[in-house]
Structure 1
Amino acid sequence: MKPQSLDMITTLIGFDTVSRNSNLELIHHVRDYLAGHGVESHLVSNEEQTKANLFATVGPDVEGGIVLSGHTDVVPVDGQPWDTDPFTVVQKDGRLYGRGTCDMKAFSAIALAMVPDLIKKGLKRPIHFALSYDEEIGCFGAPSMIDRLLTDIAKPSAVIVGEPTSMRPIVAHKGIAALRTTVIGHEAHSSQVQRGVSAVMTAAKLIAFIDGMMAENKAATDPACRFEPPYTTLHVGVVHGGTALNIISRECTFTWDIRSLPGDDWRRYLERFQAYADSLLPAMRAIAPAASISTEILADAPPLQDRGGVAQDLVFGLCGHTHGDVVPYAAEAGQFQERGFSVVLCGPGSIDQAHQPNEYIDVSQVTACEHFLEKLTDQLAS
Structure 2
Amino acid sequence: MPALPSLISMMSQLIASPSISCSQAHWDQSNKGVIQLLESWLSSQGFQCEIMPLPHQPDKFNLIATLGSGDGGLVLAGHTDTVPYDEGRWQSDPFSLEERDQKLYGLGSCDMKGFFAIVLDTVQAMQLSNLKQPLIILATADEESSMSGARALVERGSLKARYALIGEPTSLTPIYAHKGIMMERIQITGQAGHSSNPSLGNNALDAMHEVMSELMIFRQQLKKDYRDASFVIDYPTMNFGCLHGGDNPNRICGRCELEFDLRALPGMSNQALMAEIAQLLPRIEEKTGTKIQLNSLFPDVPSFYTPIESDIIKACEALTKRQASTVAFATEGSFLNQMGMETLILGPGSIDQAHQPNEFMALDQIQPMQQVIRGLIERFCLQPNKQENEEQRA
**TM-score, normalised on structure 2?**
0.85
Partners of 1:210 and 1:83 in 2: CA distance: 42
Tell me, in whole angstroms, the C-alpha distance in 2 between the residues paired with 1:238 and 1:74.
24
Distance change in 2, residues 1:179/1:95 (3 Å): same
Q: Distance in 2 between matches of 1:346 and 1:276?
A: 39
> Which residue in 2 is equivalent to 1:377?
377
What is the Cα deviation at residue 212 of structure 1?
3.9
How far apart in 2 are the matches of 1:302 and 1:43? 26
Match of 2:169 in 1: 164
Query: How many residues are paired up?
Result: 370
Cα 1:156–1:207, aligned 2, differ >3 Å: closer, same or farther? same
- 1:72-116 CA deviation, whole Å, 9 max, x = no partner? 122222467222222222211111122222222222221133343
Q: What pairs up with 1:1-382 in 2 under 5 angstroms?
A: 4-19=6-21, 20-46=28-54, 47-58=56-67, 60-78=68-86, 81-118=89-126, 122-148=130-156, 150-151=157-158, 155-218=160-223, 222=227, 225-285=229-289, 291-297=290-296, 298-307=298-307, 308-321=309-322, 323-379=323-379, 380-381=381-382
Whether the 8 Å CA contact 1:90–1:96 is kept in 2: the answer is yes
Structure 2 Cα separation of the partners of residues 330 and 104 of structure 1 = 14
- How far did residue 376 of structure 1 move? 2.6
Distance, in Å, in 2 between the alignment partners of 1:221 and 1:265 is 12
* Displacement after TM superposition at 1:350 (Å): 1.3
In the alignment, the residues of structure 2 paired with residue 310 and residue 273 of structure 1 have an alpha-carbon distance, to the nearest angstrom, of: 38
Residue pair 1:174, 1:259 contacting (<8 A) in 2 also: yes
Corresponding residue SS for 2:219: helix
Alignment partners' CA distance in 2, 1:56 and 1:91: 30
Distance (Å, rounded) in 2 between the aligned partners of 1:29 and 1:342: 28
How high is the sequence identity, in percent, across the aligned residues? 30
Per the alignment, in what secondary structure is the counterpart of residue 365 of structure 1? helix
Alpha-carbon spacing, 1:189–1:296, altered in 2? closer, same or farther (3 Å): same
Separation in 1 of the partners of 2:5 and 2:99? 13
Deviation at 1:54, TM superposition (A): 1.1
Query: After superposition, what is the alpha-carbon deviation per residue over 1:323-361, rounded to whole angstroms, capped at 9, x for unaligned?
Result: 410111111111121232111111111112222222222
1:339–1:40 distance in 2 versus 1, CA, 3 Å: closer
1:180 and 1:256 in contact (8 A); partners too: yes
Question: Any conservation in 2 of the 1:37–1:116 contact (CA below 8 Å)?
Answer: yes
Q: Distance in 2 between the 1:52 and 1:178 partners?
A: 24
TM-score (norm 1): 0.87
Deviates more, 1:212-221 or 1:292-301: 212-221
* SS state at 1:49 partner: strand
In the TM superposition, what is the alpha-carbon distance from 1:170 to its structure 2 partner? 0.8
User: What's the CA shift for 1:219?
Assistant: 5.2
Deviation, structure 1 residue 166: 1.0
Deviation at 1:129, TM superposition (A): 0.9
CA distance in 2, matches of 1:341, 1:145: 13
Distance 1:120 1:276, change over 3 A: closer
Deviation at 1:244, TM superposition (A): 3.1
Cα gap change, 1:267/1:37 in structure 2, threshold over 3 Å: closer, same or farther?
closer
1:119, 1:192 → 2: CA distance? Answer: 81
Q: Is the 1:65–1:157 Cα contact (8 Å) retained in structure 2?
A: yes
What amino acid does structure 1 have at the position aligned with 2:66?
Answer: T
Quick check: 1:64–1:125 contact (8 Å CA) kept in 2?
yes
Partners in 2 of 1:203 and 1:314 — Cα distance?
50
1:220/1:11 CA distance change after superposition, 3 Å: same
**How far 1:119 moved relative to its partner?**
6.1
Question: Residue 187 of structure 2 contacts residue 293 of structure 2 at CA under 8 Å; is this kept in 1?
Answer: yes
In structure 2, runs of 5+ residues without a counterpart are: 22-27, 384-394
Query: Quick one: structure 1 residues 264 and 242, their matched pair in 2 at CA, closer, same or farther if it must change by over 3 Å?
Result: same
Q: CA deviation at 1:220?
A: 5.7
Q: 1-side partners of 2:365 and 2:93: how far apart?
A: 22
Distance in 1 (CA, whole Å) between partners of 2:151 and 2:103 is 33
